[in-house]
Amino acid sequence: MGEQSPTATSSDKARAARSLSAPEIRDRKRRDGHPPLAMVTAYDAPSARVVSEAGADLILVGDSVAMVVLGYDNTLQITVDDMAHHVAAVARANPQCHVVADMPWMSYHVNESETVHNAAKLIRAGAQSVKLEGGRRRLRMIERLIAAEIPVLGHIGLTPQSLHTMGGYKVQARHAEAARKLVQAAKALAHAGCYALVLECVPGPVAAVVTESVDVPTIGIGAGGDCDGQVLVYHDLLGIEKRVTPKFVRNYADLDTAAIAGVRGFVDDVRSGNFPSQEESYSMTPEQFDALGLS
């Protein structure tokens, strides 16, 4: 008595072996006793496998791929086709994480029909939901996407696609009026149907107020510890990206240094003649070599 039945145990294992749906994520508020959500970016199959095996809840195929992988100075250069390419690579790894695809700049800014068409391309590539930036001005597009049965993750605070309007990558909502507008935007997005909200680069106390004000989870990046979840870029948390290190990044590994040391070892061994060794080379029988008639 009191022991878990075999059926329940199997059910638990089945739930653990699949990704969370958007409705399941929507119910994951910390105040209801749920653990914080963990979201990590991933842009290809190898990183998706790592993130999945590490037990993350969500993979964000972010437009940050433009800077982190493709070498651009900002996210504005990425296209829907670029994003679909990387979403498909992530999906082919069959990660046990909810896959969210960023809608890139100008893919949801013009009209509702084009917005749905672009989002559908990302869903067909393997995403389970899409993320778009902005507050109240995006409500019409969000409502149209949800009407088309496409789950939406909102994103407010610092919105990198608004780089030129914001005057750079700056902490947002530091003043009372801006903080009030952020809370209002969060409520509007939640009311419009977003299943969760990303809060980027806002003061911790403001993020805490937003988190308490909405019934959907908040996922913070540079937004303090009171959000319902946290997200970091794969290359940042593993110490692969060293060019820019935001204050909110914590390195859990130093793969950049390890990778350079590994490649340097290979280069040195090639130049010294130590690679490849006999054990790393293929051979043929003396009889077959003699049959070539080359000696």
The catalytic site residues sit at 200
- How large a percentage of the chain has pLDDT more than 90? 87
Model confidence, pTM: 0.90
As a dihedral over the C-alpha atoms of residue 102, residue 43, residue 84, residue 26, rounded to 10 degrees, the angle is -40
CA–CA separation, 289 and 238 (whole Å): 48
pLDDT of residue 163: 87
Residue 197's nearest CA partner among 248, 235, 159 is 159
Q: 3 pLDDT exceeds 70?
A: no
Q: 237 pLDDT exceeds 50?
A: yes
- Residue reference for tokens 């040195």: 268
